[in-house]
Amino acid sequence: MHTLVLTKGVPDFREGKVSFDENGHLERGKTPTVMNPNDAHALQAALQTRVRHDGRVSVMSMGPPGYKEVLQEAMASAYADDLYLVSDREMAAADTWATAITLSAAIEELGVPDLVFAGFKTADGETGHTGPQTCWCLDMPMITHAVALDVDEKAGRVRARRLVEGDIAEVETVETDLPAFVVVDPEFEPSYRTARDRLTLKQLRATARERAESYEDVLTVWDHADVNVDPDYIGLDGSPTIVSSVDPIPKPPAEREATMVDPANEAEMRAVLDAMRPFASDAAAAGGD
């Protein structure tokens, strides 16, 4: 069983940690980077898969070299075996779409795993798009808002309980073939129902921190050439999102306007698809081989 967790570093938004320049821009260099809090749940899902089905856990992130520590943190909490940082100056300022293209290319470079886990939304961009977009690029079945997971290795299936519309009150059970892409909800609860699984978990936890100290031994850093993406499609140049201005209000984390589209409304959906189409064909080309 091979699982991959996509994780991301975000500025530490806790009181007193964030730094802005005089123009109100976030000073990333002066603001410490921490793991996107929601990714902790994706790591828990990967750890559960590792404990219950054995095998390998990889963690991947895209971002500046400073994200290494985020990967170390991830390694400790999911008992990961190998870490990948996709890092390139060309990729700076990528939006979720460009990130998704790059990540999907990197995943293909890695070899598509049985399960890919992503956290629900990041604390800085707060769009919740990167996961689904990456999944789309990989053409995998996707389960979102997963709160519980069960993998049937023999049958090659994954079953999940998920929140319908992200609402705690409504839970449904869905099933799909592996490989699959799972966006893990903050309400996710790992489940260990046998003593053997609990003992394995206890043993992993006991050594995880110490093991993660030598994370650099298992870390691979890739640039755009390593993952075969055209620099034109990534980074700021490849990012269709234009940020006009961001208010310097660190708490709550920056919010962007979201337009809710009713998927049943033919006209609205068409408008969205039309807007996306040019990038979609590029994505296929970028992530293709």
Partner 1 sequence: MTEHEHYEAVVVGAGPGGAAAAATLARYGIETLVLERGVEAGSKNVSGGLIYAEQSAPVTVDDLFPDFREEAAERPVTRYYLHNVAGDRVETFDLGRLHDHDTEWADAVLRRKMDSWLESQVHEMTSETGGGLLTGIRANGLLRGDDGEIRGVTTDELDPIEADVVIAADGVASELARDAGLMDWEDPGQWFQGVKAVVDMPAETINDRFALSEDEGAAHLFSGDLFSDVRGGGFLYTNRDSLSVGTVFHLDSLVAEEAEPHQLLDALLTHPLLAQWIGEDYREREYAAKLVPDSKKVALREPHAGRLLVVGDAAGQMQAQGPIIKGMNHAVTAGALAAEAYAQAKGRGKPDRAGRLYAKKLREEGVMDKLRPRGYDLVRTVGERDDVTEVVDSLLTSRLGRLGVRALGGNLERLYGSPRLAAIVPDTRTPYVTLPTVIAEELGTRVTETSRVEPPSLEERIGELTYDTDVGNPHIVLVDDSYEASGAAITACPVSAKGFGGGCYREELVRTNGHEERLVSLDTQPCVECGTCAVVADTEWHHPSGGKGVVFDEG
For partner 1, the closer of residues 199 and 243 by Cβ is: 199
Does 199 bind partner 1 (CB under 8 A)? Our answer is yes
| Binding range to partner 1, per CB under 8 A, among 42-50, 75-83, 138-146, 192-200 | 192-200
Does 261 bind partner 1 (CB under 8 A)? Our answer is no
The structure tokens 């099933």 sit at 175
| Binding range to partner 1, per CB under 8 A, among 25-33, 38-46, 100-108, 195-203 | 195-203
Does 154 bind partner 1 (CB under 8 A)? Our answer is no
Q: Which of 20, 173, 203, 285 binds partner 1 (CB under 8 A)?
A: 203
Does 207 bind partner 1 (CB under 8 A)? Our answer is no
Does 195 bind partner 1 (CB under 8 A)? Our answer is yes
Shortest distance in whole angstroms from residue 52 CB to partner 1: 13
Identify whether the C-beta of residue 145 lies closer than 8 Å to the C-beta of residue 178: no
| Binding range to partner 1, per CB under 8 A, among 148-156, 198-206, 215-223, 276-284 | 198-206
| Binding range to partner 1, per CB under 8 A, among 35-43, 135-143, 190-198, 230-238 | 190-198
| Binding range to partner 1, per CB under 8 A, among 28-36, 58-66, 191-199, 259-267 | 191-199
Does 196 bind partner 1 (CB under 8 A)? Our answer is yes
What span, in angstroms and rounded, lies between the C-alpha atoms of 59 and 83?
Answer: 5
For partner 1, the closer of residues 197 and 226 by Cβ is: 197
Identify whether the C-beta of residue 116 lies closer than 8 Å to the C-beta of residue 49: no
Does 193 bind partner 1 (CB under 8 A)? Our answer is yes
Does 277 bind partner 1 (CB under 8 A)? Our answer is no
Number of C-alpha atoms within 13 angstroms, CB side, residue 249?
6
Sheet containing 142-152: order of strands: 171-177, 157-163, 142-152, 180-184, 115-119, 2-7, 56-62, 82-86, 219-222
Does 214 bind partner 1 (CB under 8 A)? Our answer is no
Shortest distance in whole angstroms from residue 159 CB to partner 1: 17
Shortest distance in whole angstroms from residue 199 CB to partner 1: 4
- At 63, list the tokens: 């971002």
Q: Which of 173, 194, 265, 281 binds partner 1 (CB under 8 A)?
A: 194
Does 209 bind partner 1 (CB under 8 A)? Our answer is no
Chain residues that interact with partner 1, rule: CB under 8 A: 192-196, 198-199, 202-203
